[in-house]
Amino acid sequence: MERMVLRIPRMWADHHVLAVRKALADIGIREVEASSARGLLRLSFDPALVEGDTILRALSDAGYAPTEEIQLLEPPANKEPGSAWFAHDVRATQTNRLDLEMSGDFRKY
């Protein structure tokens, strides 16, 4: 599987994201993450089934031509999956009494 990250400036609302996802689904791409807030599209594809040029052509034909391909950065040292960076500790918290008094039925105006 290869990954591709593209900047798509015309994808600025949810209906644009749906149109981009449909255009990619029509050529067999299912692993798609699209952000209308950032105008970014991240996808994974099998190069044996779909070529990168086919993806770019499908997006352009749908009216969402990417402006540039963004290079994925390698994770910094010691930040790979399985490292201590991803370890989670149990954390106990206690809600502040004042927050409880100012919430719900106890709200004071």
> What are the extents of the domains in the chain?
2-69
Sign of CA dihedral 44, 46, 47, 53: negative
DSSP string across 64-103: ---SEEPPPPPPPTT-STTSGGG----------HHHHHTS
**Is domain 2-69 classified as CATH 3.30.70.100?**
yes
Tell me what pLDDT residue 39 has: 87
Tell me what pLDDT residue 19 has: 93
Q: What is the rounded average pLDDT of the residues 72-99?
A: 69
Above 80 in pLDDT, residue 80? no
* pLDDT per residue as tens digits for the range 7-59: 898 888 889 999 999 999 999 888 899 988 888 899 999 888 998 889 999 99
Contacts of 33 (CB under 8 A, 6+ apart): 41, 42, 43
